[in-house]
Chains A and B, each alone.
Chain A
Amino acid sequence: MTEEEIRRAYIEELTEVAPDISPDEIGNEAHIQDDLDLDSMDILNFVTALHERLGIDIPEPDYPRIATLGKAIRYLGQRLA
């Protein structure tokens, strides 16, 4: 999976869980809790959605590694490699 595909999956699933966020708000450094106002239930739903879409199980201790798009591209890229 290319970086671009991971980026698209991340943005699409995030805006599905939180449709108040517009895709252009999701910069590489935007933090899903601190900047985009996701709560803990949103994060669980987001992780579940990423799991379904990408087939990767993201364990709780790794949640901080998907907290921004930039971090997630690195983390998911490694996991998918």
Chain B
Amino acid sequence: MAGEGSCGKTVDAGARLARSGIWAEAWAQIDAPDGMVNIAYEGLDRHVLHGHGSELALIWLGKDGVRVEYSFADLAAQTSRFAGVLTDYGLKEGDSVFSLMGRIPELYITALGTLKAGLVFTPLFSAFGPEPIRTRMEIGNARVLVTTEALYKRKIEPLRASLPSLELVLITGNEAPEGCTALGPALAAASPDIAVANTTPETPALIHFTSGTTGKPKGAVHVHQAVVYHAYSGRKALDLTPGTIYWCTADPGWVTGTSYGIIAPLVNRATMIVVEAEFDLERWYETIQREKVEVWYTAPTAIRMMMRAGAKAAMPYDFSSLRFMASVGEPLNPEAVIWSEKVFGQPFHDNWWQTETGGIMIANRPGMTVKPGSMGKPLPGVEASIVDNEASNLREAGENEIGELALRPGWPSMMRSYIHEQARYDKCFADGWYLSGDLAMRDADGYFWFVGRADDLIKSSGHLIGPFEVESALIEHPAIAEAGVIGIPDETAGEVVKAYVTLNPDFAPSDTLERDIRGHARKKLGAAVAPREIIFRKSLPKTRSGKIMRRLLKARELGLPEGDISTLETDES
């Protein structure tokens, strides 16, 4: 792994030995028969082999009120059938399977069946517009896509011709449009007893896309031994134990919804609650009460929506089943921690990690004193620090000093590469540290506090949005000459996307044009990524090399000091 070579410089041998002991203990949480490490085997089949097949793996709550239970044996059989469909088609190790669907049972069967077959799984967020979908499928060389008929017709069919690598499109249900295969009959025809692919610890398993400040999204590659860290961190940071009723509200289209919405609970033999519908206050409170949810993992935007509804809306419900609550996606504000203590009788425990880290790195763990507003402390085995990488030599920052949050590589779920992007991967490491791109500080008690992004990436409702991807979609609008996109603070979403644009000759600013541009961006990108506001400018602030200075747009928007503007060539007007 890049950057690991110089680890010995500042870490003493004792600490390294302790860490290797921790990982040995984590490895003991999985079976790994004859050296095979397979996420689906560890999450499903081994529980069946050990006599737990009849225990509940998944309780699915559909939009229309349907409730369906799946035991570990049910999911083991269904995922074997799915793996059979893929291998019968002739797919081989390394081939890429994408999914585009909401939180329906087929999504979970696709994810685990793909892993069981030894292929690489990439989930796409079903609310993405066609553009983010096309880019990600192209970079990931998608050979297979599993989706619903409705999503296929709306988002895939129009761009299918531009996806030459895509051979097999499986449609959930019993019927499929032309050029596609119906998944229902294919599963029914496949054997439920296929052998699990003999994957090694380093066999690629998952690609999760994450945004970059410039250029295309990056596909972070994760391997099968990540399951060791999911088992370990699920236990340590979320208190997942066999039989725990656990609800992770995240969509598997984002890394949390896969690492902790599929893998960590299954490998820990917990029972996952999956709610198909989006946030709906009463449905959420009812779900906790009715299903007796014990561990709940959600996100600040949802928590702040509950706060908006007020403590009174929560009063009719019985939350006594809850024993641990955690939050991730963006920093949880202290008010939300204090509010949750009042309403649920316990605080939400904030934690921190990224697509690249594959699992929770820093957390307010069960039993720890929560400092409201802090992300907590590194999990045992994880070495985190605050570094100053601006000077010629990287140095570790002192207490309460702001710097970049950095981690020593070596935990099992670290990304192994960005697909086809070695240079961008290498840039993530310096002096034996993985550089997160997040600014933070560490207090005297060892708690970490998030400060902001070191780059221009936008965090909205827990989703990381790359301004470049938004700008690229905007300038495809005939009226737009240039676009600069920033995140502005928002009470509920953390940040929302705002765009500054200049117009081509023959176009003049108007409310109609503003709406037309927003509509265009939403169609291309989807609601979660598109800007909520468009501002017209005659020109945008640019460097001598012609790069739009987003940092300056943001400082002005927020009334902050403009900082170093020596590279500014043309100012905005």
**Cβ contacts under 8 Å, B310 to chain A:** 60
B507 an interface residue at 8 Å Cβ cutoff? Answer: no
**Cβ contacts under 8 Å, B279 to chain A:** 40
A29 an interface residue at 8 Å Cβ cutoff? Answer: no
**Cβ contacts under 8 Å, A34 to chain B:** 63
A55 an interface residue at 8 Å Cβ cutoff? Answer: no
* Residues of A within 8 A of B (CB-CB), count: 21
**Contact present for B518 and A19 (CB under 8 Å):** yes
What residues make up the interface of B, taking CB atoms closer than 8 Å to A?
63, 127, 277-283, 301-302, 305, 308-310, 313, 460-461, 490, 492-493, 496, 515-516, 518-520, 522-523, 526-528, 532
**Contact present for B516 and A60 (CB under 8 Å):** no
Most buried by B among A15, A16, A21, A61: A61
Question: Which of the residues A15, A20, A41, A63 comes within 8 Å of B492, measured between beta carbons?
Answer: A41
The CA of A39 and the CA of B460, in the complex, are separated in Å by: 12
The CA of A42 and the CA of B532, in the complex, are separated in Å by: 9
**Contact present for A38 and B515 (CB under 8 Å):** no
**Contact present for B526 and A37 (CB under 8 Å):** yes
Chain A, 26-72, CB within 8 A of any chain B CB: 33-34, 37-42, 44-45, 59-61, 63-64
The CA of A64 and the CA of B63, in the complex, are separated in Å by: 12
The CA of A59 and the CA of B420, in the complex, are separated in Å by: 48
The CA of A33 and the CA of B313, in the complex, are separated in Å by: 22
**Cβ contacts under 8 Å, A21 to chain B:** 519
Whether A38 contacts B527 in the complex (CB less than 8 A), given A44-B492, A61-B282, comes out as yes
Give the Cβ gap from A57 to chain B, nearest Cβ, in Å.
Answer: 12
**Contact present for B523 and A39 (CB under 8 Å):** no
List 9 additional contacts besides A33-B277, A61-B282; criterion CB under 8 Å: A15-B515, A19-B522, A21-B519, A33-B278, A34-B63, A37-B527, A40-B302, A40-B461, A42-B527
Whether A19 contacts B526 in the complex (CB less than 8 A), given A40-B278, A60-B281, comes out as no
A18 an interface residue at 8 Å Cβ cutoff? Answer: yes
**Contact present for A60 and B522 (CB under 8 Å):** no
Most buried by B among A21, A38, A41, A42: A41
**Contact present for A41 and B461 (CB under 8 Å):** yes
**Contact present for B526 and A61 (CB under 8 Å):** no
Contact sample, A vs B, 30 pairs, CB 8 Å cutoff = A15-B515, A18-B519, A18-B522, A18-B527, A19-B515, A19-B516, A19-B522, A21-B519, A33-B278, A34-B63, A37-B527, A39-B127, A39-B461, A40-B302, A41-B460, A41-B461, A41-B490, A41-B492, A41-B496, A41-B532, A44-B492, A59-B309, A60-B281, A60-B308, A60-B309, A60-B313, A61-B281, A63-B280, A63-B281, A64-B283
**Contact present for B281 and A40 (CB under 8 Å):** no
The CA of A38 and the CA of B313, in the complex, are separated in Å by: 23
Give the Cβ gap from A27 to chain B, nearest Cβ, in Å.
Answer: 16
The CA of A15 and the CA of B511, in the complex, are separated in Å by: 13
**Cβ contacts under 8 Å, B516 to chain A:** 19
The CA of A64 and the CA of B520, in the complex, are separated in Å by: 27
**Cβ contacts under 8 Å, A39 to chain B:** 127, 278, 461, 527-528
